[in-house]
């Protein structure tokens, strides 16, 4: 039996330290798992808003690829979520960044169906001016819905601008930069899809070129 008070105090402190460390580790693990689950559910809700759940049967969050085209998609690497039904392509959801928003970059979700028609667009994150540029949010106005059903050709490419620049998309009173930048980013996403859309849905095995037969 330990009688020395200093030794007893040291052992008690060590026990508390071990217990505290274990408790912190357990809390961190459970909290991280909860945060990850909440983030996944939030992403899934946004994806299903522009690719309705009944139109696909795959796990669209995990059926994802990464592409690189900073000129069209605004960043070095862009995640693309792929929706399928019975193994067949339904829509690709891009995550482009608008680099030239009024108050900084704007993050988007852009759903493009296999026929090149937009399923929808959503703003994921922005720092635009409250009461002006923030009208890109679905909670603030219905402007973002003006992209639904549009494609390259409907309207024609030259009309993919805000009305002030001679196009067909509305701008906001006192805030033209934000809608102008988003219209350009969505158009560029459609242009990327027109050039590279089909290979997105191919598995690595399907996308790889066939090996040449060996010659004896």
- Quick: pLDDT tens for 85-99: 999 999 999 999 999
Helix (H) or strand (E) holding 98: strand 97-98
- The pTM score is 0.78
- pLDDT band per the 50, 70, 90 thresholds, residue 11: low
Domain ranges of the chain: 53-204
Q: Count other Cβ atoms within 10 Å, centred on residue 210.
A: 5
Provide mean pLDDT across the span 1-14: 64
Torsion of CA 44, 55, 144, 115, to 10 degrees: 130
CA 37 to chain centre: 16
pLDDT at 130: 77
User: In the predicted model, is pLDDT for residue 213 greater than 90?
Assistant: no
Q: Is the pLDDT of residue 131 over 90?
A: no
Q: Rounded distance, CA 89 to CA 111, Å?
A: 13
Judged against a pLDDT cut of 80, whether residue 12 lies above it is answered with: no
Q: Evaluate if residue 204 carries a pLDDT over 90.
A: no
pLDDT digits (tens, 9 = 90+) for 38-85: 778 889 999 999 999 999 999 999 999 999 999 999 999 999 999 999
């Amino acid at each position: 039996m330990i009688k020395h008070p200093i030794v007893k105090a040291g052992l008690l402190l060590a026990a508390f330290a071990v217990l505290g460390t274990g408790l912190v580790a357990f809390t961190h693990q459970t909290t991280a798992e909860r945060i990850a689950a909440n983030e996944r559910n939030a992403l899934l809700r946004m994806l299903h808003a522009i690719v309705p759940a009944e139109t696909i049967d795959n796990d669209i969050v995990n059926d994802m690829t990464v592409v690189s085209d900073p000129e069209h998609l605004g960043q070095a690497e862009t995640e693309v979520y792929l929706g399928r039904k019975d193994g067949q392509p339904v829509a690709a959801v891009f995550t482009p960044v608008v680099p030239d928003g009024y108050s900084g970059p704007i993050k988007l979700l852009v759903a493009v169906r296999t026929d090149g028609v937009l399923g929808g667009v959503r703003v994921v994150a922005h720092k635009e001016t409250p009461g002006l540029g923030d009208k890109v949010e679905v909670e603030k106005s219905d402007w973002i819905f003006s992209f639904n059903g549009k494609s390259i050709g409907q309207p024609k490419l030259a009309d993919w601008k805000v009305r002030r620049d001679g196009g067909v998309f509305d701008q906001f009173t006192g805030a033209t930069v934000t809608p102008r930048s988003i219209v350009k980013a969505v158009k560029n996403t459609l242009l990327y899809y027109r050039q590279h859309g089909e290979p997105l849905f191919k598995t690595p095995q399907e996308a790889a070129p066939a090996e040449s037969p060996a010659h004896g």
